[in-house]
Amino acid sequence: MNLRWLALLFVATGAHAADPAQAYPTDLPPLDQALTAIRQAPAVRATKVLIDAESANRDRLEAGPHEWAIRLESQVRNIVTPESRRYNEWRGALERPLRLPGKAAIDAEIGAQGIARAEAAYGDALHETARSLLKRWFAWLREREAARQWQRQSDSLLKQQQATARRIQLGDASRLELMQAEAATAQAQAALEQAKLKEIVAATELGASFPAIRRPEALTITAPQPLAGSFSEWREHLLEHNHELMLARSESLRGRLLANRADAERLPDPTVGVHFGADRSGEERLVGISLSIPIPGGARAANVRREAAMAEASSQWEAATLVKIDAEIASTFATAQAAFIAWQRADEAAQRMAQAAALMERARALGEAGLAEQLLALRQANEATLLATTARLDALEANYRLYVDAHELWRYSDEAETPRMK
């Protein structure tokens, strides 16, 4: 990663370049756990094995489809004469089709391209798994923060209920106000139980999908930062590291190679051999060479047309993949920008509502406002805080999603071997 992109990563994560220990975000899974979880995913392991399979296929293609063949014949010759003579005769041959040089070169290219395609598929599996981890991690974070906020709201309302009960004992509040406080507390507690359930479900899904991830008890959620860099810079960088596009291009190139191979097969491979034998019970010795050339038929021409059509389809699929990825990049970039602005607005609103709730509490203490007004202010402040928390996490996830797509968050120095954080 060059210095410009390293600086962008520090800006996006709120880290300080002067302190390397702060380079990795504190609101993500620990780096070692994240990399282990990604590498242990079944889809990643499956695609990694395919690299070995394509390596063996390359060796097969380079060796060629033809093998030596031994042919043996035995016969008895009877000569019908007055003497009626009988001879044992035999013949043998060693034969092998010869792959033409142009075909061998194309086969070698197809084999090498097969490995490149498998490596692209492995990189794409790593990328998609990283996306999935990020998604499930933030799904759990949202439910966790919602449950914590409802816990705080429930505790606050319970204190309000207890204070109202004491005021009734002192004759300073009505039974209606106590009922209102009890109802608000019950609602908050019900919402808290629902939030806890959602947190448990999200945590279970995260743990089942990524067993290597251990959820921390304490977690510091950073403040989102605006994106650094223009859309064109992001697009160029993201396209450069997009394995889905690499895979589509690899498929397109493979299609063209297969079409070239089918076209080369219009000229059949000749079969050459050497034969030898003995006639008349060994009185005659035979040694010779043979050459056979298949006569091309309609099947070869049809196969050429088929592979040409498949190559064109692969080319069009590559173009469609580029359009799809372009749309995804534009959407992800716009989402990150909009999410940051939305968080700013939501955070500002939450602060204002918290201030309003504090003023209402003070007015209630001075007898200038009723319990209903205070409960309303508390509910509105709680809703604003929940919205701001969700907006904060949405903005962080949108930013991290860009860096995952750019392979700069959980970055792999060698896609086929060891991942590392840059």
Domain count, the chain: 1
pLDDT digit string (tens) for 273-331?
Answer: 998 888 877 778 889 999 999 999 899 999 999 999 999 999 999 999 999 999 999 99
- Give me the pLDDT at residue 13, please: 46
CATH number at residue 156: 1.20.1600.10
Structure pTM? 0.83
Inside any domain, residue 411: no
User: What whole-number distance in Å separates Cα of residue 22 and Cα of residue 377?
Assistant: 38
**Does residue 102 carry a pLDDT above 70?**
yes
Q: Is residue 385 situated within a structural domain?
A: yes
Q: Which residues of 84-115 are buried (b: 16+ CB within 10 A; e: fewer)?
A: eeebebebebebebebeeebbebbebbbebbb
Q: Which of 248, 144, 254, 159 has the alpha carbon at shortest distance from 199?
A: 144
Helix or strand (DSSP H, E) at 70: strand 69-79
In a domain, 414, yes or no: no
SS3 string, 270-292, reads CEEEEEEEEEHHHCEEEEEEEEE
Residue 285, classified by CB atoms within 10 Å of its CB into exposed (0-12), middle (13-18) or buried (19+), is exposed
412 — pLDDT class (breaks 50, 70, 90) = low
Q: What is the pLDDT of residue 353?
A: 93
Instruction: State the pLDDT confidence band at 178, using cuts at 50, 70 and 90.
Output: confident
Q: Assess if residue 78 is contained within a domain.
A: yes
Q: Could you report the per-residue pLDDT of 369-393, keeping only the tens digit for each?
A: 788 888 889 999 999 999 999 999 9
| 197 within a domain of the structure (yes/no) | yes
Query: What range defines the domain where residue 334 resides?
Result: 3-405
Residue 166 confidence (pLDDT): 85
Report helix angle 298-365 to 231-240, nearest 10. 130
Residue 378 lies in a domain: yes
Question: Which single residue is written with the structure tokens 């907006």?
Answer: 391
Q: How would residue 266 be classed by pLDDT, with cut points 50, 70 and 90?
A: very high
Tell me whether residue 412 is in a domain.
no
Q: Is residue 418 part of a domain?
A: no
* Whether the predicted pLDDT of 22 surpasses 60: no
Q: What is the pLDDT of residues 126-144, one digit of tens each?
A: 999 999 999 999 999 999 9
Q: What does DSSP assign to residue 93?
A: E
Token representation of residue 193:
């139980």
